[in-house]
Structure 1
Amino acid sequence: TRQIQIDQTPKPQMLQTIRFLCSVVAAFARLVGELRKALMAVKASPAGLISATPLALRRKAAPDHAIQKQQGESKKTKKEAWAARRRPARLVIPVADDAGEVAAGWGAAAAPVKEADVEVAGEGFCVASRAGPRHAMEDAYSVLTHKNDGDSDQLAFYGVFDGHGGRAAVDFVSERLGKNVVSAVLAAGTDKYDEASSAEEHDAVSAAIRAAYLATDSELLVQHQHQGLSGGACGTTALVRNGDLFVAHVGDCRAVLSRDGGAAAALTADHTCAAEGERERIERGGGYVSRSGSGVWRVQGSLAVSRSFGDCGLKRWVVAEPAVTRVPLVAGCEFLVVASDGLWDKVSNQEVVDAVSRSRSRVAACGELVELARRRGSRDDVTVMVIDLERFVRQDPSTKS
């Protein structure tokens, strides 16, 4: 018999086929394992979805109402921030203490006003004051009366002041000017009049008032220089001396006299750049006057008044030398109205006198005039003072020229 031998050694092609099949099986097994893991993850997920974003970067979606709330809060925050930028911080202005004595026998009947709304009825005068809506109160007033054995009607000082650029200047002037005027007049030795010397006495009183104004301005400038302050103040004052009324002013506060049954007589002329004489004076001094877009003439394009206390940056042109007017207080002189420009910008001289004449009381008239100016659109501070002049009228006018 022939014995047939079979070669059992695997062929190379067969080995390759076996290896290929094994790799396919292994790949399939790995695929099945990944699919099982994926199915388990799907079952565990509440939404049945798999996020491709790493957990650290996932952002939880907010409900619609939460988004609307956040947007509303954001808008509110922006509005509050914008309002804060536009609205200045509220200023708290303390009330001044009563002024000290000026000299022997002198005292302050009313301290400078710092409250926003004031109504005062004093001896022989009354005043009302209200702050404008634009800024803190910058008006003030002061009254000084003589105390001399009951003869208090022979010497008295009244003033209304309007500040700008802050309260520093108006506080200083309302505190110091009356004291300086009274001291200067007393030092001038004008206690008695006679036929021969009355004109000289009148001139001496006027000169003393001018000197007091300039001295007060110099004191204010020194204080501002030391404290690094600025700003200025206008003012109109009335001094009654031995039956004569001396009205002095710088700026645009005004004094109007009621006489002979209610006829208004202006005793001041506003110191503004619109006045030709003031414009020429400023230009002679090397300054200039320009008209703003609103039609207001201004010194160096800045300040509307041409005379004031303070305003150190413009002092070369904006002087503090006052205009002084003397009026003999004779029969027919009824009352004097002194007020800041917040009143005069909206109410005429005659309207003011008429309102005081028909009012039930002088203090009520002051309040009514303040309210009238506000109703007519005044956005400035308004201060109105009414002074009774009949108590100062000369009993025998023939004794004085």
Structure 2
Amino acid sequence: MLCCSCSPVPAASPVTGAGLIAAAPLSSRSRKMHHHVHPVAVNDQNQLSSVVAAAVVVGAAAGDGIEEAEPAKKKKAACSWAARRRPSKLVIPAAADASGQALLGEELVAAAAAAAEEEEVEVEGDGFWVATRRGARHATMEDGYGVITEHKTDGHSQLAFYGVYDGHGGRAAVDFVSGRLGNSIVSSAAPPAEKTQRSSSASSPSPAVADDDVAAAIRDAYLTTDSEFLSQGERGGACAATALVIGGDLYVANVGDCRAVISRDGAATALTSDHTAAREDERGRIESSGGYVSCGSNGVWRVQDSLAVSRAFGDGGLKRWVVAEPEVNKTRLAAGCEFLVIASDGLWNKVSNQEAVDAVVATGSEHSVVSCRQLVDIARRRGSRDDITVMVVDLRRFLL
């Protein structure tokens, strides 16, 4: 069993604490040396000259009122003026790694490079591929993903779960959901083989709304996960798109604007519908519950002038209108079903469904991790500043 989540995807902890700190210059301290001159017996003129010369040297060093030479005074004044003009000293403190050891010089540069690499992660798994990249809008990666595979027969996995999550308002919700939802769905939606209901049709031209026991278990898992997260008292929320393959059927569910698209003989079909207030049915549901929606000058619809999605995990302050009940669709896997693309809205805001499928087809299934990377690059080149997570799942391995 494999279960992953992005932080972006786990890797070495980023370096923290490094930076430039302006240190105020130390206050000048005046030091005064006191010298005691003891009487000296002078027996002749030469001895008197030596004593006077020695006194001049001692007095000059001690600053006891004996005049300095003119060039020395000018030099001292110039140094004093330069000191006043000099900016505050910049101190670069040593950063610490996870073990608490100080990092200096080249080690600090290497640690910063490692932290940057964490923002771009690629995974090549057993029949699935993932590419993630942190967007410029966020200080930390707020996307996540999860994969669970088990119950293999004759080398073919008969049950598998895949999910992509998109957090907002921090990582709390996406971390919680990515750690709970997949396990909850697999444990509750895997009934004995004789209880698994199958469609009699060879292939559905479009996804059908599922209403069997598996679909009900998926809905319950979504709602239970949401309730458990809200009980933690954490802020923020998360969108999700998940896929469960069981007994030759594909169950796709979602809340929010993560999306799943299937390729059938190269033709793209969305198996999810984005949950935003731009949908008339979502606006009606929110307004009938006493809420309101608005559309800004940028064309983005928002719930209560706040959230751009109408369904999500978390978001306790908006829970009356932003529900976590998913829409679940069921598709019978048959000849022609090639692969599934599941991604966060960082991709779909810039790349169409068919473009995503075409990019995967162009690279071939054996290079799907390359196609994930290319899709991320396309979205970035078109101006996406959001976090992007793209997962491609090979569906041909599930055909019975």
Q: TM-score, structure 2 length as denominator? A: 0.68
Check the 8 A contact 2:198/2:249 in 1, yes or no: no
The one of 211, 214, 234 aligned to 2:220: 211
Q: Deviations over 1:146-185 (max 9, x none)?
A: 2345465211110000001111110110111011111221
Give deviations 1:45-74, integer Å, cap 9, x for gaps.
Answer: 8899xxxxxxxxxxx89866445434xx49
2:376 is equivalent to residue 370 of structure 1: yes
Q: How does 1:362-401 map onto structure 2 within 5 Å?
A: 362-394=368-400
Aligned positions of 1:1-400 closer than 5 A: 65-70=82-87, 73=88, 115-133=118-136, 134-148=138-152, 150=154, 152-187=156-191, 191-193=195-197, 203-223=212-232, 225=233, 229-260=234-265, 262-360=266-364, 361-394=367-400
Q: Residue 36 of structure 1 aligns with which residue?
A: none
SS at match of 1:144: strand
Identity of aligned residues (%): 59
Gaps of 5+ in 2: 1-64, 71-76, 93-97, 99-116, 203-207
Once the two structures are TM-superposed, the CA of residue 116 in structure 1 deviates from its matched residue by 2.5
Deviations 1:247-273 (A, max 9, x none): 10000001111112x111111111011
Cα contact 1:115–1:137 (8 A) shared by 2? no
* Aligned partners of 2:152 and 2:159 also within 8 Å: no
Query: What is the alpha-carbon distance in structure 2 between the residues aligned to residue 322 and residue 217 of structure 1?
Result: 11
| Alignment-mate amino acid for residue 130 of structure 2 | V
1:197-229 deviations in whole A, cap 9, x for unaligned? x99996221111111111111111112x2xxx2
> CA 1:188 to 1:231, structure 2 compared with 1: closer, same or farther past 3 Å?
farther
- CA distance in 1 between counterparts of 2:276 and 2:353 reads 18
SS where residue 287 of structure 1 aligns? coil
Q: Distance in 1 between matches of 2:306 and 2:159?
A: 38
**Per-residue CA distance 1:304-338 (angstroms, 9 max, x = gap):** 00000011111110000001111111111111000
Change (3 A) 1:357 1:190: same
1:252 alignment partner AA: D
Larger radius of gyration, structure 1 or 2? 1
Kindly indicate whether structure 1 or structure 2 has the higher relative contact order, using CA contacts under 8 Å at least 6 residues apart.
2
**Contact 2:148/2:162 (8 A) holds in 1:** yes
Q: CA deviation at 1:136?
A: 0.1
- How far is 1:353 from its partner? 0.6
Distance 1:387 1:370 in 2: 16
Q: 1:194 to 1:245 in 2, by over 3 A?
A: closer
**SS at the partner of 2:190?**
helix
Seen in structure 2, the aligned counterparts of structure 1 residues 209 and 195 have a Cα distance that, compared at 3 Å, is closer
Distance, in Å, in 2 between the alignment partners of 1:293 and 1:61 is 61
Secondary structure, counterpart of 1:320 in structure 2: coil
Extract unaligned runs of 5+ from structure 1: 1-42, 49-59, 81-91, 93-113, 395-401
C-alpha spacing 1:189/1:219, structure 2 compared with 1 (3 Å): farther
Does the 8 Å contact 2:166/2:344 carry over to 1?
yes
Relative to 1, partners in 2 of residues 1:356 and 1:276: Cα closer, same or farther, differing over 3 Å?
A: same
> 1:145–1:152: 8 Å Cα contact kept in structure 2?
no
Shift of 1:295: 3.1
TM-score between both structures, scaled by the size of structure 1: 0.68
Rounded Cα–Cα distance in structure 2 between residues aligned with 1:192 and 1:46: 103
> Over residues 224-255 of structure 1, what are the superposed CA-to-partner deviations in whole Å (9 max), with x where a residue is unaligned?
x2xxx201100000111111111100000011
Tell me how far apart the structure 2 counterparts of residues 231 and 326 of structure 1 sit (CA, whole Å). Answer: 30
- Give the equivalent residue in structure 2 for 1:15: none
Q: 1:363 to 1:313 in 2, by over 3 A?
A: same
